[in-house]
């Protein structure tokens, strides 16, 4: 599900003091942008707690596999 800075703000205000942003492949830059915009414009009391990267092996339509980079960014209150 696509996430915007406003969605992250709603999660922090609603039910959680921590948010995980996860992305693979080309969407990694969107996750990084979302984290930065959220903490610099909307929630200045939020900071990046952790960043984890990995490579996931995905099966393609022909039955083969390909490697895709993935990231998890953990945002939490300072």
- Which element (helix H / strand E) includes 36? helix 28-37
The two structure tokens encoding residue 37: 């915009």
Query: Each residue of 6-50: pLDDT tens digit?
Result: 677 777 776 778 899 999 999 999 999 999 999 999 889 999 999
Query: Each residue of 41-68: pLDDT tens digit?
Result: 988 999 999 999 999 999 988 999 999 9
Q: Give the separation between CA 70 and CA 12, rounded to whole angstroms.
A: 23
Do the Cβ atoms of 5 and 34 come closer than 8 Å? yes
Q: Give the separation between CA 63 and CA 53, rounded to whole angstroms.
A: 25
Q: Provide the residue range defining the domain that includes 63.
A: 5-77
Number of domains comprising the chain: 1
The two structure tokens encoding residue 4: 């915007």
3-state secondary structure of 7: helix
């Amino acid at each position: 599900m696509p996430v915007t800075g406003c969605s992250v703000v709603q999660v922090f205000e609603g039910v959680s003091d921590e948010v995980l942003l996860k992305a693979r492949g080309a969407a990694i830059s969107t996750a990084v942008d979302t984290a930065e915009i959220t903490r610099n414009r909307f929630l200045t009391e939020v900071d990046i707690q952790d960043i984890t990267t990995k490579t996931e092996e995905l099966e393609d339509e022909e039955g083969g596999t390909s490697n895709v980079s993935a990231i998890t960014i953990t945002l939490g209150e300072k």
